Each structure stands twice: as C-alpha cells, then as structure tokens.
Structure 1
Amino acid sequence: MPRPRIPQLDGEAALAAALADLDGADRATLATASRYVLQVLGDEHPGRSVELRVPPFGAVQLIAGPRHTRGTPPNVVEMDARTLIAVASGREEWAGAVRDARIHASGSRSDLSALFPIAQVNQPQ
C-alpha cells in the first residue's frame, strides 16, 4: 500500500510556516514540511540507489541506479528536518551543512548537492 501523499497546498503551507521561523517551528509543522520535501524529491528523482533519512519524520529512496535489497543501503544521507528545509529552500548550502556535520553522507553516490535547492520549495506554486 503506498504512503499517503501530502496535498500540495498543505505541504506548501507547512513549508511557509517553517521557513517563517525555522528555529521556532513546532514539531507538527516540521514533520509535514520535511515529509513534503521528501515527497517532492522522490517525485523529481525516483530510484532506489540513495536513501535520504530525516529522523524521526521520514525517509525516501532516490536516484536511479543499483538498488539494495537487505540491510543498510550503501548510500545513505541523514539530516534533521530543519537542515533539510534550509537546504531545500536555498537558505543554506549543502557543502556548509556537510562541513558543519548537520548532513551525514556515506557512500559513493551520497553527494546530493545537485538536487538542492528545490525549485518547487524555493518558489511554491
């Protein structure tokens, strides 16, 4: 059974609220906004070669290529919700978040910098 999708209007509203006060955003807003960003990334970059995790809110598999079937995937990226939203919106650069250890990336395909910022997040429709 597929996961329920976040309607675009709800996702954009949560993103706008989170971006208005990223440090003070409540848990429900961060959850919806980060899940929406993961949904957008999954739609734009389908595949199963890299797993992007945003604990405790969600994860998505991205990028076409070799896929894993058991255990920990060979290419894993993990960050918190605030970092995902900041990078997705262009408020923060991927390299800076990696340097500051807010993004943990392992594996030969784990550099997702080319995916950010996300146009749909940066300029909601």
Structure 2
Amino acid sequence: MPSRLRPADPVAVAAALARVEADAAERADLRLLTKHFLALLEERAPGRSVEVRVPPYAAVQVIEGVRHTRGTPPAVVETDAATWIAVATGRLAWADAVDGGQVRASGERTDLAPYLPLG
C-alpha cells in the first residue's frame, strides 16, 4: 500500500519548478515535485478509493469512497512525472491531458479536475 507523503520545502519546490520551466530539470527535481504535488493531493482529497501512480517516483491513494486493500485497485490514474507536474501546477488542463492520452484514468472517481491545480 502506498505510504503517506509530505509536502516538500517551499524553497526547494520553487527552485525545482524554475528548472522545470527552463527545461533544465533533472531526475531529482522531477522526483521532488512529483512527491510534493502527490502529498498536496492527499491533503486536498483524502481517502483510499483511487490510486494515483506516477512511476517510478510514487503512488498515493486518494478520494473518499470504497477503500481498496489488495491487488489491482478498481480506480487508477497513471501518468508520467512531467505531465503530473503540468496538471498539478495548472500548466496543463486535466481534461486535455486525459483527452491527449497523457493521463490514463480508469474506474469511478478518477476525474481529478475538481482538485487541480494544486499549487
């Protein structure tokens, strides 16, 4: 089961976002921002009915509803780190990411649009 994440230091987040915007982000920046924005999503949408995966960095369970405990969850959202950071910051609309195939969302309650942007 994915563990609860904590938001990162605001100064580190700002520096990593600046590198992302300058197309100079490194793997460490993507990891920091991915985990940071997943932690904010956990705070904004507590629960365990939807698993949000951003491989290889992290996965969290969010949104109230039927709790998932074993095996493949019935509701899954999966995307890459760059897309997750873009939707979390509002640089990419959730619907556009889903329609464009950058986000795969299956199952009930996988529309994260009401919770975005996060920062």
Normalised TM-score (structure 1) = 0.83
Q: Give the structure 2 partner of residue 59 of structure 1.
A: 59
> How far apart in 1 are the matches of 2:8 and 2:108?
33
Q: Give the structure 2 partner of residue 103 of structure 1.
A: 103
Normalised TM-score (structure 2) = 0.87
- Which residue among 7, 14, 17 is the counterpart of 1:15? 17
RMSD: 1.7
Correspondence 1:13-92 to 2 at 5 A: 13-18=15-20, 20-21=21-22, 23-92=23-92
Which residue identity does 1:11 align to in structure 2?
A: V
Q: Give the structure 1 partner of residue 93 of structure 2.
A: 93
Instruction: Give 4+ residue runs of structure 1 displaced > 4 Å after superposition.
Output: none
Gaps of 5+ in 1: none
Gaps of 5+ in 2: none
CA drift of 1:27 comes to 0.7
